[in-house]
Amino acid sequence: MRTLFAGAGATGGYFGGRLAERGKDITFLVRPPRAATLARRGLRIHSPAGETTIHPRTVTAATLDGPFDLIVLAVKSFALDQILADLKPAIGPATVVVPLLNGMRHLDTLLEAFGPSHVWGGVCMIAGTLNDEGDVVQMSGMHKLTYGPLTGPDDRLAAVTEALSGADFESRASDDIVQEMWEKWVFLASTGIVNILMRGTIGEVEAAPGGAALALAVVDEALAVAEAAGHRSRPPQEAFLRTSITAEGSPTTTSMYRDLTAGAPVEAGTIVDDLVARAEKLGVPVPLLHAARVNLAVYQARLGS
Ligand SMILES: NC(=O)C1=CN([C@@H]2O[C@H](COP(=O)(O)OP(=O)(O)OC[C@H]3O[C@@H](n4cnc5c(N)ncnc54)[C@H](OP(=O)(O)O)[C@@H]3O)[C@@H](O)[C@H]2O)C=CC1
Ligand SMILES: CC(C)(CO)C(=O)C(=O)O
């Protein structure tokens, strides 16, 4: 399968790089400065398992001139509109688009842009970032990619599975990807909100008096929204979240918190604001999520000023 990774940042660079490392047919859609960095340094991945350099094939919006079989979308939510416009030439009659973005709102945007026959769901679990050189840094051993059609069986599944497997990360097709995206959203939003409201890692919050109780109260609010929306996390996912968000000494932060502490724009709209908006619509009280929304709005307003 000709596969295009749209974005070669922390997630796209990692998962696309790992696939390219195994000889899969991977191209990255990047902007000119990123293309220049990748040409000069290669795509370097630093991980707990070691370091690797891949020399990736890249295209830019100006040189993208034909359809791909599979597109993996790996940009931040605020870059979505531009890249969807750039991707138009890459969409053929049978192209599958798998987004890795956090949250749910991008699915509506994608369905509107490309139509239901092209859009699948996707979830990735990784703690990744780019360092000052533009290299991908995988901060823990976690690296999982899950994907699947939004509605019913799809005869492209075997080919997509072949394209996304066989590399040095866990890869899995899901027959209920929408539920898995909700579970990831609840996990990520809860963890990120605890980081942001308390300005610390999960372990630092847990060590504070009342910290674990506060974290679990955030989880209860996020779960209540998911439940009202018909997507309460299944018991093993809920148990994992409760354990992980109260883990003693945990260094866990989220990409949202890392962006905030770096003074960069934060995906507040799709990760926090959208959860609060759904809570309001469904009549679910979420005072802690609301506090996080206000906190992030103040931050974003300062960034813009
Ligand atoms: N980082 C993490 O640990 C995790 C992130 N996620 C989610 O994955 C999504 C992607 O995040 P992440 O990979 O961290 O983000 P990054 O910022 O690391 O990477 C996004 C990349 O998209 C590129 N980009 C933006 N617009 C365009 C465009 N028009 N054309 C080509 N490239 C473009 C940027 O390139 P440029 O250099 O040109 O700006 C950047 O390198 C987010 O929704 C995030 O929440 C999910 C799980 C974990
Ligand atoms: C919760 C986590 C770490 C898992 O991938 C994540 O999605 C993020 O930091 O954005």
Torsion over CA of 186, 189, 195 and 199, rounded to 10 degrees? -150
Is it the case that residue 291 has pLDDT exceeding 80? yes
Per-residue pLDDT tens digits for 161-186? 999 999 999 999 999 999 999 999 99
199 and 157 in one domain? no
Residue 258 lies in domain:
180-304
190 and 162 in one domain? no
**Gap between the Cα atoms of 189 and 272, Å rounded:** 6
Is it the case that residue 304 has pLDDT exceeding 90? no
44 and 158 in one domain? yes
Cα of 94 from ligand 2 centre, angstroms: 30
153 and 251 in one domain? no
195 and 52 in one domain? no
CATH number at 196 reads 1.10.1040.10
CATH number at 165 reads 3.40.50.720
Query: What residues flank ligand 2, with Cβ below 6 Å?
Result: 102, 125-127, 187-188, 191, 254-255
Which residue's CA is minimally distant from atom 33 of ligand 1?
Answer: 7
Cα of 139 from ligand 2 centre, angstroms: 11
Average pLDDT over residues 229-249: 98
Q: How far is CA 133 from CA 18, 44, 76, 125, 142, in A?
A: 19, 9, 19, 23, 23
252 and 148 in one domain? no
Is it the case that residue 85 has pLDDT exceeding 80? yes
Q: Which ligand is nearest to the CA of 104?
A: 1
225 and 156 in one domain? no
- Look over the chain and give the mean of its residue pLDDT values, rounded to a whole number: 97
Is it the case that residue 152 has pLDDT exceeding 90? no
8 and 150 in one domain? yes
Count structural domains, the chain.
2
> Nearest to residue 269, comparing CAs of 110, 278, 302?
278
191 and 146 in one domain? no
Cα of 106 from ligand 1 centre, angstroms: 14
